Amino acid sequence: MDSKANEPEPASLQGSVSTLTTHETRHAVIDQAFDYRGDVMIETDDGRCITGYVFDRCGDVAEPYVRVIQTDDGERITVQYDSIVRLSFTGRDTAVGKSWETWVKKYQEKKACGEWVSLEAESLD
């Protein structure tokens, strides 16, 4: 069994808000937004609020950017890192409690109790 199985699941970022005042903070939070499995709200220095799913980011180029699928219309837009002043994790984190270790533990518990178990994925809802 994997040694990670006994470690607690990391807390969800859902509901957290980060003000991005430094280069390091900005890059770290945008990386978290990329890994997050829910919508975020990006506030820019010109007052825009963009809500959507972060599907791509490129932080190692001369002008780093993030790409977002907007929630309201599905349009894909690009936002420069330097224009982002605040990032909020607003959407439901669909990955919470869905780690491989959690799934294996639940599977083994059900099987040990004699319950019928399936290898098919559970619904995300």
Q: What is the pLDDT of residues 29-52, one digit of tens each?
A: 999 999 888 899 999 999 999 999
Select from 89, 39, 20, 31 the least CA-distant residue to 57.
31
Strand partners, 56: 67
Check which CATH number belongs to the domain holding 87 and give it: 2.30.30.100
**DSSP assignment of 102-119, as one string?**
HHHHHHHHHHHTT----S
Q: What is the pLDDT of residues 77-108, one digit of tens each?
A: 999 999 999 999 997 776 666 666 766 777 78
User: To the nearest whole number, what is the mean pLDDT of the chain?
Assistant: 82
Burial class (CB in 10 A: 0-12, 13-18, 19+), 44: middle
Asked whether residue 1 is domain-assigned, the answer is no
How confident is residue 6, by pLDDT bands cut at 50, 70 and 90? very low
Asked whether residue 117 is domain-assigned, the answer is no
Domain total for the chain? 1
- Residue 108 is part of which domain span? 12-112
Asked whether residue 89 is domain-assigned, the answer is yes
Asked whether residue 4 is domain-assigned, the answer is no
